[in-house]
Structure 1
Amino acid sequence: MTVLAGATACGEDSSAPSEVTLLTHDSFTLPDSVLEAFRTETGLTLKVVKSGDAGQLASTVSLTPGSPKADAVFGIDNTFASRPIEAGALESYRSPAAANGADDYAVPDSNNELTAVDRGDVCLNVDDMWYRRNNQAPPTSLRDLRDPRYAAQAALLDPSTSSPGMAFLLTTIGVFPQGWQDYWKTVSAGGADIVAGWEIAYNQLFTAGEGKGDKPIVLSYASSPAATPGTSAILDSCFRQVEYVGVLKGAKNSDGARKLVDFMLTPTVQEALPDSMYVYPVQQGTKLPDGWAQRAPVPTSTVNLPPAYIAANREVWLQQWRDAVGR
């Protein structure tokens, strides 16, 4: 548990809540100046509690309806959104600011239990510099991974332990509705590495990552090349991943949680998201960092399956995936 904002200003009503607690995933980060702005605007200290990846976060929230571990939650994505909604773990709240973009990414057939904050398109990334140095042609489509030359060069993610891994599984289901299991059998037999999480794949195995590994193809995000020069995303392999914020039902400070939802849609937060978490803001008119649009172009088309459809089939798909790759 980490306190990320300063103490509450003196002179406030001691009977009023002085802090709001946010449950989120391990990758959550915003600049201290942004968190200080929340304290300045609301008088509330923001306390952040991290709880694994998006899947673990959704499970934690879903298992504690009415008795939450925090006041608000951020980081549940569209692959898991229906789980806490169906569990009755979230309070309905629509921020007035949502009309300026967030509403465009609302969970279908919901009652404003979750509010979109950002989108990050999960795509295959390639190390273009590696291919130039080795005088090889890089893959241009996820279909190319059926060639064992490329499969053996790829670091992919286990969908049962990784949110982007689940997103890529859903991509293959969307692209190959009748043949996705054969796709995975072929890619796995071709020698693709399938690891538990993004940190291992990108920072240890990827040739352009911190660890300078030996895999020039990795599953990451369309925005990752903005942080890693010399790489690019394969834009036909993308799944739109939307992250949400919501008020937890039974929260001790539900008013503060609603203020936090509002704050996540302000320009202060929205403009900080690209550099902080390498995701795109959802609010219209948000200024992007210089060169971002060129280094991290938004895919022109993405796979986007309804959350309820994902929820109804997730466990069956995961078992079929395990059978396909021999796990």
Structure 2
Amino acid sequence: MKTKLLAAVTGMLMMVGSAQALTVYTSVDEENASAILKAFTESTGVKVDMVFLSSGPAMSRIEAEANRPQADVWFGAPSENHILAAERGLVEPYVSANAGDLTDEFKDANGNWHAIYTNPLALGVRTDLLESRGAPVPASWEDLKNEAYKGLIQMPSPQSSGTAYAVILTLTQLWGEDAAFEYMKALNPNIQTYTQSGTAPSGALGVGETPIALQFSPGFLKLVDEGFPVKVVFPSEGVGYEVAAMSILKGANNLDDAKKLVDWMTSAEGQEQLAAAKTYFLPIRSDVSAGEGIPTLKDIKLVSYDPSFASDNRQRLVDRWVDEVLGQ
């Protein structure tokens, strides 16, 4: 009798274990993450428990839970964050069967992370507001120094935003570090405010609080799609871009389903959900369309930078920005 009872209890535990939801810490915004992960569940049958955490808090929580992981996958945050997580021994390497369909900047050779989507930096311009001031529409980074834009530009602060740090990396790659900082010092009088959030400038653009905003492109593409008088400008010298990535966490309790998420997200089916859900994110696969009216990566002059350099030099470059640009 005891043997039968033990077998029954063991069987019930196995059933509970097999039905365990995949726990995902997402640093993709909640609305878009929900849409993407819902499509994953509908396609695979894998249930997902999602917890939203921005990049910094996510890293801190994953480190604090390293000895007893509470999540299976970190979904979102720039690739340099995942590189740092791998260096700290927080991820479980896995090379997806789809890795061969991705270019090198969208995957780690050892399987420590795979990309989810990419977004270039862009300017969002309220053409109606500039026209009312008799000011031209900027086409380049250099154009932004025009005195006609004094106090009219919003961009995020590198102190709190990975988007703004991408601006520093882009300008450094284009002109060298010293010249990049001289440019940012010259641009400073034209900055209306440095926002805490990386997506706040597009919100301000939408309500007419500012005529020029700088951030990654999705917020601007959404405004255009919604009918706002907004032009999306990719500065002619070239723009950096974010690579939002995902990694399986070391000690994941649901490793098999974590691998399924990586495989699905890097597949054509998973990438097509970016357009289907109107995320305005650009796909990482060349065989998947970004959606009607959204530019492809081939249409934009992209500036690449080494994610390892980005990870290793972040604090130093942000500190320099605070001292030389904000503190001038």
Provide the rounded CA distance (Å) in 1 between the counterparts of 2:138 and 2:38.
44
Deviation at 1:133, TM superposition (A): 3.8
Q: Within 5 A, what are the aligned runs for 1:1-327? A: 13-25=15-27, 27-30=29-32, 35-52=37-54, 54-101=55-102, 103=104, 105-107=106-108, 110-177=109-176, 178-203=178-203, 205-206=204-205, 209=206, 211-213=207-209, 215-229=210-224, 230-236=230-236, 237-274=238-275, 275-293=277-295, 299-327=299-327
Given the superposition, is the C-alpha separation of residues 63 and 301 from structure 1 closer, same or farther in structure 2, using an over 3 Å criterion? farther
Provide the rounded CA distance (Å) in 1 between the counterparts of 2:136 and 2:248.
48
Provide the rounded CA distance (Å) in 1 between the counterparts of 2:105 and 2:326.
39
> Which residue matches 2:10?
none
Q: Residue 106 of structure 1 contacts residue 115 of structure 1 at CA under 8 Å; is this kept in 2?
A: yes
Q: Residue 81 of structure 1 contacts residue 307 of structure 1 at CA under 8 Å; is this kept in 2?
A: no
Given the superposition, is the C-alpha separation of residues 34 and 156 from structure 1 closer, same or farther in structure 2, using an over 3 Å criterion? closer
> SS of the residue aligned with 1:81?
helix
- Higher share of residues assigned helix: 2
Q: Residue 84 of structure 1 contacts residue 90 of structure 1 at CA under 8 Å; is this kept in 2?
A: yes
Q: Which runs of 4+ in 1 moved over 6 A?
A: none
Q: What is the CA deviation profile of residues 107-147 of structure 1, one whole-angstrom value per residue up to 9, with x for unaligned ones? A: 4xx52110112111122322223223433212211122233
> SS of the residue aligned with 2:194?
strand
Given the superposition, is the C-alpha separation of residues 104 and 174 from structure 1 closer, same or farther in structure 2, using an over 3 Å criterion? closer
Provide the rounded CA distance (Å) in 1 between the counterparts of 2:98 and 2:29.
25
Q: Residue 155 of structure 1 contacts residue 219 of structure 1 at CA under 8 Å; is this kept in 2?
A: yes
Given the superposition, is the C-alpha separation of residues 297 and 283 from structure 1 closer, same or farther in structure 2, using an over 3 Å criterion? closer
> SS of the residue aligned with 1:179?
helix
Deviation at 1:86, TM superposition (A): 0.7
Q: Residue 239 of structure 1 contacts residue 304 of structure 1 at CA under 8 Å; is this kept in 2?
A: yes
Query: Which stretch has the larger CA shift, 36-45 or 90-99?
Result: 36-45
Q: Residue 34 of structure 1 contacts residue 268 of structure 1 at CA under 8 Å; is this kept in 2?
A: no
TM-score by length of 2: 0.83
Amino acid at match of 2:53: S
Deviation at 1:74, TM superposition (A): 1.0
Given the superposition, is the C-alpha separation of residues 176 and 36 from structure 1 closer, same or farther in structure 2, using an over 3 Å criterion? closer
Q: Residue 280 of structure 2 contacts residue 294 of structure 2 at CA under 8 Å; is this kept in 1?
A: no
Provide the rounded CA distance (Å) in 2 between the counterparts of 1:225 and 1:200.
11
Given the superposition, is the C-alpha separation of residues 151 and 219 from structure 1 closer, same or farther in structure 2, using an over 3 Å criterion? same
Alignment size in residue pairs? 306
Q: What is the CA deviation profile of residues 68-102 of structure 1, one whole-angstrom value per residue up to 9, with x for unaligned ones? A: 33100111213433211111111100111222226
Structure 1's unaligned 5+ residue stretches are 1-11
Structure 2's unaligned 5+ residue stretches are 1-13, 225-229
Amino acid at match of 1:139: P
Provide the rounded CA distance (Å) in 2 between the counterparts of 1:148 and 1:59.
42
Q: Could you tell me the percent identity over the aligned residues?
A: 22
Deviation at 1:289, TM superposition (A): 2.1
> SS of the residue aligned with 2:278?
helix
> SS of the residue aligned with 1:304?
coil
Deviation at 1:200, TM superposition (A): 2.8
Q: What is the CA deviation profile of residues 214-269 of structure 1, one whole-angstrom value per residue up to 9, with x for unaligned ones? A: x2111122444432223212333521211111110011111111111112123333
Given the superposition, is the C-alpha separation of residues 216 and 31 from structure 1 closer, same or farther in structure 2, using an over 3 Å criterion? same
Q: What is the CA deviation profile of residues 25-79 of structure 1, one whole-angstrom value per residue up to 9, with x for unaligned ones? A: 2514348775455334443211110002x34434443554353331001112134
Q: What is the CA deviation profile of residues 195-222 of structure 1, one whole-angstrom value per residue up to 9, with x for unaligned ones? A: 111343221x32xx1x321x21111224
> SS of the residue aligned with 1:292?
coil
Q: What is the CA deviation profile of residues 256-302 of structure 1, one whole-angstrom value per residue up to 9, with x for unaligned ones? A: 11111112123333112145322111123113322323xx7755322
